[in-house]
Chains A and B, each alone.
Chain A
Amino acid sequence: MEYTYNVEAGNYALAGEASSSIKALLKKLGISGDIVRRMAIAAYEAEMNIVIHSKGGCLILKISPEELILISEDRGPGIPDIDLAMKEGYSTAPDEAREMGFGAGMGLSNMKRCADEFNIKSTVGIGTKVQIKIYLK
């Protein structure tokens, strides 16, 4: 099964809707609480990254009996130095995001912490794609 959720850039009022839908769906499918929680946190961080840093994008959730895959794909400035972006505390978020309690430089590392597999690819001037896997078995 595959589900796609569009995420609008800069819309802080809607931010979190996609992750909320993902969480509700996984719960409804009877997936264990700990896994639902890990996926919800990763999806929410990914969604906030799209809202804060990109020109728009989407979250794609793929569900199989073996694993959950979340792909976060955006159009935007891309990340020039991924190692630096992965470092906890490093952030380029604007004040607007900080006022909402984000932009602490924890997003990507939080996603990695929640995942069994984590991959990130970014092209400057094009966009960023993050994929995580959480094993169900």
Chain B
Amino acid sequence: MQLREVARLLNADILVGDTNLDKEVKFACGCDLMSDALAFIEDGTLLLTGLTNLQVIRTAEMLDVFAIVFVRGKVPSKEVIDMAKERNIVLMSTDYTLFEACGILYKAGLKGKS
């Protein structure tokens, strides 16, 4: 699924990376535990999370995750957004909860990887 479609379905604001919205994600993972993300996520996975700190960007960097959706209307600090920009990671923010956002994407055909 293209990131553009993810943003449309979640009615999300693009915080950074609006020139990379034609990139495709293969799977999605909703998770607030970065240790779990590090154990289970494959490259090309979309990360949905309620955490907005620097370690989320670090985790994405290590995993080759190039897109993150922050849920419940959360917007990270400028420092976090700048770090994502340097690493070419797309950040979005949606008002949906983690459960709802995952549900919407799953219903639209984006699967998890278990």
Contact = CB atoms under 8 A, between A and B. Distances in A.
Interface string B52-64: 0111101101111
B58 A44 contact: yes
A109 B35 CA distance: 10
Say which size band chain A's interface belongs to.
20 to 34
A101 B53 contact: yes
Say which size band chain B's interface belongs to.
20 to 34
A63 B64 CA distance: 22
B110 to A, nearest CB: 22
> Chain B contact residues: over half helix, strand or loop, or mixed?
helix
B55 A15 contact: yes
B43 interface: yes
A44 B35 contact: no
Interface in A73-112: 99-107, 109-110
Interface of B: 32-39, 43, 49, 51, 53-56, 58-59, 61-64
9 contacts: A15-B55, A20-B62, A23-B61, A40-B61, A100-B55, A101-B32, A104-B35, A106-B36, A110-B39
Interface of A: 12-13, 15-16, 19-20, 23, 33, 37, 40-41, 43-45, 48, 99-107, 109-110, 113
